[in-house]
Amino acid sequence: MSKSVIVSDLHIGDMSDADDFYTSGNFEKFIAFLEYIEKDEEIEKIIIAGDLFELWQCKVEKILQMYVDLWKVLLKLKETGKKIIYIPGNHDSLPFAKLVYKYFYSYLLISLILKLFNTSKRLERF
């Protein structure tokens, strides 16, 4: 029998004094919880049901740089075969959507340029 874990509304902030999640020690506890999930063979997936981050007060780019430990643990979960389902909430949906759009659009543009000018074959020689 497989199990699922659901977490929501953590509102992880910018590690400042105003960030209740970080200053209360809950960030370290959350990392330990994710490490427990990684080792538990019965847990098949983790569902993050919105507002993992407090992106109304902190930029996505800053969050991506600040929480390396979190990204490492999430990558380990994925490598061990755990499914991670992320459902954006009202505090993180628009900023994440803007970030994804920004990088996806850049990727598409670069791919189009490479195809148009057939530069990929020229780049392979280097």
Where is pLDDT greater, at 33 or 17? 33
Say which range, 21-25, 34-38, 92-96, 122-126, has the weakest mean pLDDT: 122-126
Whichever domain contains 22, its CATH number is: 3.60.21
Q: How many domains does the chain have?
A: 1
pLDDT one-digit tens code per residue, 58-86: 777 777 778 888 888 988 898 899 998 88
Domain housing 70: 3-124
The 3-state secondary structure of 86-113 reads EECCCCCHHHHHHHHHHHHHHHHHHHHH
CA atoms within 13 Å, Cβ hemisphere of 117: 8
Where is pLDDT greater, at 113 or 25? 25
pLDDT number for residue 125: 45
pTM of the model: 0.69
